[in-house]
Structure 1
Amino acid sequence: MTTRWTLTIDCADPTLVARFWCTALGYTESDPPTGWDTWEDWLNAMNVPEDEWNDGASISDPNGVLPSISFLKVPEPRAVKNRLHLDLQVAGGRAEPQHLREQRIRTKADTLITAGATLVREVPMDDSTTLDHLWMQDPEGNDFCVV
């Protein structure tokens, strides 16, 4: 039997980081709990102080297929390289012509840079100058790759 799971990303500003990942993944803000029209209504009903409303955020696949992702406010900044990261697989795989793969990778990267990402490094295929993927960081420095 499998176990249901979600991914949670620690961050300083959950709303900011969640918005970025909505752009990166094509996700949307998760719906409020059943019976509530908005998150604000739910937070008010649960007596959550307004200064805690950005302590968490959640985004979901609009098709309901892929796992949701949560963002949790933590006091400490990221200190070391992520040991777990997302690979955004946009190039179509190595069977695709290299010029198309690179074009798709760079197009996605340009969109993400506009949304607040930073390019860390272009990573070539082994022993070549041919682009394999881009190592990037989200607005708070969380690593991910565009492949």
Structure 2
Amino acid sequence: MAARIQVTFDAASPPTLGAFWAEVLGYVEDSPPPPYATWDEALDAMGVPLDQRDTAYAVVDPDGAGPRLWFQKVPEEKAGKNRVHLDVTVRPDLPRDQRPVAVRARVGELERLGARRLYEMEENGSFWVTMQDPEGNEFCVQ
């Protein structure tokens, strides 16, 4: 059986960055553990103080296919280029000649959510745009 993975992001604001990625990927906030109906109930039961409830956040694929994304609060800012990044595929069924228009349209949507466009690339029949999320993590839209 293959190992399951979780992708972890260091973040200044886990809930804010998690909400951004949920929107990008069509993910939802991870559910609180049973028997709790809400995260506030769960965190109350765990004894987590109110001022520490923004230290972590998780989003999941509602269909259960993609990895869980975990966002953890860290004190330092991002430094340097990511060594690993996410590639977000726009309409994988589109023919190559139609991909640049669809990718640029999605890039515009992501900019309105707070992402920043860095540059476009076309190489070996592929087209993509490299971007940064609101906290500066690089990712590609292809």
With the shorter chain as reference, the TM-score category is over 0.9
In the alignment, the residues of structure 2 paired with residue 7 and residue 74 of structure 1 have an alpha-carbon distance, to the nearest angstrom, of 16
Measured against aligned partners, the alpha-carbon deviations of 1:38-64 in whole angstroms (never above 9, x if no partner) come to 011111111101111010000000111
- 1:72 aligned partner: 72
- 2:61 aligned partner: 61
- Structure 2, unmatched stretches of 5+, are none
- 1:96 aligned partner: 95
- 2:131 aligned partner: 136
Aligned length: 142
Answer yes or no: is the 8 Å Cα contact 2:96–2:126 preserved in 1: no
Which stretches of structure 1, 4 residues or longer, exceed 3 Å deviation after superposition? none
In the alignment, the residues of structure 2 paired with residue 117 and residue 77 of structure 1 have an alpha-carbon distance, to the nearest angstrom, of 17
Sequence identity, in percent?
A: 39
1:91 Cα deviation after fit: 4.7
Amino acid at match of 1:52: Q
1:132 Cα deviation after fit: 1.4
Answer yes or no: is the 8 Å Cα contact 1:91–1:102 preserved in 2: no
1:120 aligns with 2:115: no
1:3 Cα deviation after fit: 2.1
TM-score normalised to structure 2 length? 0.93
In the alignment, the residues of structure 2 paired with residue 124 and residue 108 of structure 1 have an alpha-carbon distance, to the nearest angstrom, of 17
In the alignment, the residues of structure 2 paired with residue 91 and residue 110 of structure 1 have an alpha-carbon distance, to the nearest angstrom, of 15
In the alignment, the residues of structure 2 paired with residue 72 and residue 121 of structure 1 have an alpha-carbon distance, to the nearest angstrom, of 28
Answer yes or no: is the 8 Å Cα contact 1:123–1:133 preserved in 2: yes
Amino acid at match of 1:96: P
Distance change >3 Å, CA 79–CA 97, structure 1 → 2: closer
Amino acid at match of 1:73: K
